[in-house]
Amino acid sequence: MKRDISKKEEVVSTTVGEVLYQKMSNYARKGLEGAANTQRAYKSDIKSFKNWCAENGQTELPASAVTLAAYVSHLADTHKWASINRKLAAIRKLHELNNHDLPTKDKGFRAVMEGIKRSNGVRQKQAPAFKMKELKAILRGIDTTTNAGLRDKCLILLGFSGAYRRSELVSLNIENVEFSEEGAIISLEKSKTNQYGEFEEKAFFFSPEADFCPIRTLKSWMARLEYTIGPLFVRVRKGDKITDERLNDMTVYETVKKYFGERYSAHSLRASFITIAKINGADDSEVMRQSKHKTSLMIQRYTRIEDIKKHNAGSKLGL
């Protein structure tokens, strides 16, 4: 009898052990994989690396230092420094998930990377910022009698005044909007800098001019939606019919280009908020409260003050 009980306890112990081990494995993989947006970005980079390895007779996993050096040399002909490093990050993630180390500390590989850096430079192309005059002209020209036009105007106004990334903008929900006498508070469950669901809010205020007011425009758009819970920004189909299908982040990219021109991107909304706010006297802490950047260094990087004659200490030397 004692033996039977002992066996049962052993089975239970083993079962619990397996369950906990599986749970631990799942948490570990989740931690290594990172955010959903990061996973999507890495997917195409990993696919490209695997295809290149297959075409060139190289082993993809684990990749040798020689394979890695050859791959980045191949990329250097057509890719900028930032893109090469992003692809390396994807390959590193692939190796981590399969319990392999990526030989990026190899002296030969590091020499190749240094050579690429010296040859091609490291300057990263930044999304240009527009001026307030340009923004107002574009907003005036949008036909808000149509559902598509009103949605686009609301998308642009919130994207700019909220300093949102495009993935954040399309993830907003109606139930996350709270209006008040001053304007509105919009909360966001997760973002690039908020991966763990901490409470994150952004404030929006009434504008003296109705044409440029994010609050009035938002209220008008929400009044046209036939539901009170769900995605804030949705597709508008043929016949100007509003659906309940959430927009994807590529739609924000296309919308900005449609109204602002090809040289601008979705990130121009965020960059323009920071630049215009700084020009108008906002300090870094005020900007960070809306942009949710963690450091002032990032604010300086995102600020697009391009007129070196207008914004230059050389004019303030008293000479």
Q: Is residue 74 among the annotated active site residues?
A: no
Please count the other Cβ atoms lying within 10 Å of the Cβ belonging to residue 76.
18
Catalytic residue of the set 23, 100, 117, 192: 192
Catalytic residue of the set 93, 202, 292, 293: 293
Strands (DSSP E) contained in the chain are: 177-179, 183-188, 200-205, 234-237, 241-246
Q: What angle do CA 283, 284, 287 make, to 5 degrees?
A: 90
Strand partners, 183: 205
The position carrying tokens 């996993």 is: 61
Q: Which two tokens stand for residue 189?
A: 């469950």
Q: Which two tokens stand for residue 4?
A: 């039977």
CB 188 within 8 Å of CB 199: no
- Render 45-81 in DSSP notation, one character per residue: HHHHHHHHHHHTT---TTPPHHHHHHHHHHHTTT--H
Q: Is residue 100 among the annotated active site residues?
A: no
Catalytic residue of the set 165, 278, 292, 304: 165
Q: Is residue 293 among the annotated active site residues?
A: yes
Spatial distance between the Cα atoms of 157 and 270, rounded to a whole number of angstroms: 11
Starting from the edge strand earliest in sequence, which strands make up the sheet with 200-205, in order? 177-179, 183-188, 200-205
Q: Is residue 267 among the annotated active site residues?
A: yes
Q: Is residue 30 among the annotated active site residues?
A: no
- In whole angstroms, how far apart are CA 111 and each of 56, 72, 78, 104, 276? 22, 12, 19, 10, 41
CB 60 within 8 Å of CB 50: yes
Catalytic residue of the set 267, 278, 292, 304: 267
Catalytic residue of the set 270, 278, 292, 304: 270
For residue 92, give the H/E element and its range. helix 81-97
Catalytic residue numbers, as ranges: 165, 192, 267, 270, 293, 302
